Amino acid sequence: MDPIQPIKKSNTSLIAGIVGVVVIAGAVIFAVKNNQSNSQPVAVAPVDTTNTAPVTTPASSTTPADVAPTSKYKDGTYSADGYYSSPGGNDAVHVTLVLKNDIVTDATVTSGAGDGTSARYQAMFIGGYKAYVVGQDISTLNLTKVSGSSLTPRGFNDAVSKIKTQATA
Amino acid sequence: MSSQLIFEAIGTHWVIDLYGEYTAEQVDLVYHKILERIAIFDKTYSRFRDDSVVSEMARTAGDYVLPDDAKELFAVYKKMYDVTHGLVTPLIGQVLVDAGYDAKYSLIQKKPLTKPLGWDEVFSYTAPQIHMRVPALLDFGAAGKGYCVDVVSQVIEGYGIHAYCVDAGGDMRHRHVAGPALTVGLEHPEDTTQVIGTVTLSNASLCGSAGNRRVWQNFHHVISPETLTSPQDILAVWVVADSTIVADALTTGLFFVSPDILRHHFTFEYVIIKSDYSCEKSDGFPGELFLEKR
């Protein structure tokens, strides 16, 4: 197995670093996969360090005496493209990470995956640090109350069903 | 021992628990006072009834004297308006109506939507008076229900009752200093038989807002005054705060503005469920989410 090429350092080392982690992790997945099948080398291309400026929601006009952030990285949304070769051909991933207090709080990877296997591994990787909520049956839990559903006013539901009836008439 | 009041008002289902021993007469007295108080609130602020003050302000410009409770309502709305750069605004009323969210729940868009005017262009409020420069339909849907919970709680506390829970359709206020906390399920946004987590509610308020409830055409009950569309990236939001009005206002605010920005101005804990069921919650959120890695 060829060693993974180091990620090129640049002035946007944060993004490079993060995307590097993404790409390396992706490469590791492929490396494992390759061990099991044909042992085609995995190459990791230098990360495209195009910095898209941190995207934030409308900035607050007044910032009262707030605790000075002690985080190492600036909070924000960062995007970059990564490229790698897989047995299925050359693939690209467009990675967007949301950083808050030095923690990746959200991530999306636009899969440029050329083949289904890559897409699947990319999906696995994305899921690695993103947790999803799942439902549990109310009846299995000892709850005093429930918040959510009853928000729906009755009249509204009636109106919706009426419209549905009209729409299918 | 506790007493429970269950009734329908302002388009929602109320369950009020009074913890402690009270006679039937006492409970009945409190109950009727609560209904009276809600009726006054509704008659002032509901855009769903033709005879409300708000409906009159939509027809005729000029000066109107509002009840005392308007002070806090306008204070919270103004703060939210400023913090969100106008995205949370009472002036969304006409947009909601034009989109179909009207008194008759027609749920059919009537005409192309137009951006609402700014706060100062339309009215100025100096308690107890509001001056409407032009007629405009104000909508207090973002915080009005939560505020109504607070107002009802004031009635209850006025009788010296300080251990209670006022629950208006899932938006609730709990006060019971020495008593047990409530375990409140967070309803699954698409399956009412399931919950996706729980909140331990103790001496605080909880409000929730789900974007895929009250859905019609491409809209749900939150519409951005800027894009004139409903945010689609968030399925549900829950907020825990000291007061119900603030918790309620923030559930709408979180559809538009990041929690970090709002936390510069308000003290609260939150959960946000995104449309892919990924989630975000504040470190201090008093509850748990049922999670899985995918």
Residue of B nearest to A129 (CA): B293
pLDDT band at A73 (very low <50, low <70, confident <90, very high): low
> Within this chain, do residues B177 and B285 fall inside the same structural domain, yes or no?
yes
Residues of A in contact with B82 (CB under 8 A): 61-62
pLDDT of residue A86: 60
Q: What is the pLDDT of residue A158?
A: 58
Query: Residues of chain A with pLDDT > 70: what percent?
Result: 12
CB contact under 8 A, B188 and A145: no
- Reported ipTM: the value is 0.77
Q: Quick: pLDDT tens for A144-164.
A: 788 874 444 445 555 556 655
Chain B residue numbers with beta carbons less than 8 Å from the beta carbon of A148 are 170, 185-189, 192, 195, 208, 210, 213, 236, 238
**DSSP character at residue A48:** B
**Is A138–B257 a contact, with Cβ atoms under 8 angstroms apart?**
no
- List of chain A residues whose C-beta atoms are within 8 Å of the C-beta of residue B260: 75, 100
| Mean pLDDT of the residues in chain A | 54
**Predicted pLDDT at B1:** 75
Q: Tell me: pLDDT of A65 over 80.
A: no
Q: Which pLDDT value is given to residue A21?
A: 43
At a CB cut-off of 8 Å and minimum separation 6, what does B134 contact? B61, B117, B121, B122
Residue B74 within a domain: yes
Identify the residue among B10, B81, B83, B195 best suited for mutation to test binding to A, counting A beta carbons within 10 A and taking the highest.
Answer: B195
Same domain, residue pair B179 and B278: yes
Number of neighbours of residue A124 by Cβ within 10 angstroms:
14
Mean pLDDT (chain B, rounded): 94
Cβ <8 Å between A60 and B83: yes
Domain boundary among B75, B104, B132: B132
Judge if B207 and B260 occupy the same domain: yes
Residue numbers in chain B where pLDDT is lower than 70: 211-213, 293-294
pLDDT in tens, A75-122: 777 766 666 666 566 666 666 666 666 565 666 666 555 555 555 555
Strand partners, B197: B186, B289
State whether A154 and B11 contact (CB < 8 Å).
yes
B199: phi then psi, degrees, rounded to nearest 5: -120, 140
pLDDT tier, A57 (very low <50, low <70, confident <90, very high otherwise): very low
Contacts of B170 in chain A (CB under 8 A): 145-151
Q: Which of A105, A151, A160 is the closest to B210 by Cβ?
A: A151
CB within 8 Å: B194 and A135: yes
Examine the fold and report which residue of B132, B153, B182 is the final residue of a domain before the chain moves on.
Answer: B132
Question: Is A64 a residue whose pLDDT tops 60?
Answer: no
| Cβ pair A131:B278 closer than 8 A | yes
Asked whether residue B261 is assigned to any structural domain, the reply reads: yes
B199/A132 CB distance under 8 A: no
Asked whether residue B6 is domain-assigned, the answer is: no
The whole-number pLDDT of residue B110 equals 87
Domain of B117 in residue numbering reads as: 54-132
| B-chain residues near A63 (CB < 8 A) | 264
Closest CA to B115 of B92, B143, B83, B88: B92
pLDDT bucket at A19, cuts 50 / 70 / 90 = very low
- Within-domain flag for B177: yes
The count of CB pairs under 8 A between chains A and B is 177
Q: Provide the pLDDT confidence category of residue A13 given band limits of 50, 70 and 90.
A: very low
| pLDDT score recorded for residue B221 | 84
Query: Would you say residue B88 lies in a domain?
Result: yes
Last residue of a domain, one of B103, B132, B161: B132
Tell me, yes or no, whether B192 and B97 share the same domain. Answer: no
For residues B284 and B207, membership in a common domain is answered with: yes
For residue B294, the one-letter residue type is R
The percent of residues in chain A predicted with pLDDT above 90, rounded, is 0
Cβ within 8 Å, pair B198-A137 = no
Residue B39: the pLDDT is 97
C-alpha–C-alpha distance, residues B187 and B96, integer Å: 25
Residue with the larger pLDDT of the pair A166 and B5 = B5
Could A151 and B170 be called an inter-chain contact, meaning their C-beta atoms sit closer than 8 Å? Answer: yes
The count of structural domains within chain B is 2
Q: Do the domain assignments include residue B168? A: no
* Cβ neighbours, 10 Å, residue B69: 18
pLDDT at A160: 58
- Interatomic CA distance for residues A45 and A129, integer angstroms: 23
- Can you tell me the mean pLDDT for A27-49? 36
Core vs surface per residue A143-159: b (16+ CB within 10 A) or e: bbbbbbbbbbbeebeeb
Q: Work out the end-to-end distance of chain A between its first and last CA atoms, rounded to an integer number of angstroms.
A: 65
| Residue B39 within any structural domain of the chain | no
Nearest to A56 among B188, B209, B258 (CB): B258
Contact between B47 and B54 under an 8 Å Cβ cutoff? The reply is: yes
CATH code of the domain in which B177 resides: 3.10.520.10
Asked if the structure places residue B42 within a domain, the reply is no
Quote the pLDDT of residue B198: 95
